[in-house]
Amino acid sequence: MAGASWLRKLANGAASLVGLKSIDSSGTNPVSDRGILVFANTSEVIAAERALQEAGFEVKVKGPPPDLQTGCDMVVVFPVLKQAAVEKVLKEARLEPEKIITEADALLDPVSLYQVKDLGRWLMIRAANMKITIDKETGIIVNISGGGCPDVPWLAQQMVGKKFCEAPRPISIGHTLCCYSLQKAYDELKRIRPCG
């Protein structure tokens, strides 16, 4: 990775010398102008993502580089040039990152594909390891399956039996990556079957 980073810097330097757009600013490799916010737990990651998005920052939740991994964890990637403003928003939201670092390693991309299965009266949406099934006539969530994090039974307990437009958003009550996957499936469900 260090070699790749060095090559990228060299390529950017050469590009700027001849007046070309740098590799990083082309959008093909967004790592060099990004910073990473590391939090104590996934709930804070989700809250920070929400607070920063509401404040208009372009942020993304990603898997941490291998040397930062501790378990079921995520980090928030943000434009590092806006670090001060980002920190101000986080302070107002009473969120304090454990670390703020510049990105020096490739990040892993979360699953971004969805699988939609029509089962006649029912519709199942899958994102990563989580699946949500609704009754198409009533809009009621009839089942939630998949996932191995401890908030999956909790999320199912809170959401199954409710109309999906009225059920709590998974990330408002859950904490883990399984919850985050379920949120993605839930968002996709709302995209293909808009509420009200």
Partner 1 sequence: MWLIAGTVPENGFPFYTGGIWEDSKVEGDMLVLPNGKKLPVARGATALAATAIMASQALGKPVPRLLLVGDCGTGKGSDEAYTWLSENLPSIAEKAGLEGLTFHYFYPDLDGHNRVFMALEDLKPKPMLVADAGFMYVAKMSGYATSYDLFAPDIGELAFLADERAPHPFYTRGFLLAEEEDVPELLKRARSHDNCPFNMIVKGKTDYILCNGELYAKVSEPSVEAMECIGGTGDIVTGFATAFLAAGYPICKSALQAARAARYLALFCNPNPETQAAELIDNIGKMLRQNMELIQKE
The footprint of partner 1 (CB under 8 A) covers 41-43, 63-64, 66, 69-73, 108-111, 113-115, 117, 119, 121-122, 124, 126, 128-129, 131, 133, 135, 142-157, 160, 174-181
CB 59 within 8 A of CB 100: no
Residue 53 CB, nearest approach to partner 1 (Å): 19
Q: How far is the CB of 109 from partner 1 (least distance, A)?
A: 7
Which residues have C-beta within 8 Å of that of residue 47, sequence separation ≥ 6?
A: 93, 95
Type of residue found at 119: L
Query: Which residue lies nearer to partner 1 by CB, 37 or 128?
Result: 128
Length of the chain: 196
Minimum distance of partner 1 from residue 150's CB (angstroms): 4
Q: Closer to partner 1 at the Cβ: 28 or 70?
A: 70
Which CB, 49 or 89, lies closer to partner 1?
49
Closer CB to partner 1, 56 or 153, in the complex: 153
- Report the alpha-carbon distance of residue 64 to residue 42 in Å, rounded: 12
Shortest reach from residue 141's CB to partner 1, in Å: 10
CA-based end-to-end distance of the chain: 48
DSSP per residue, 144-167? EEE--STHHHHHHHHHTTSBTTTS
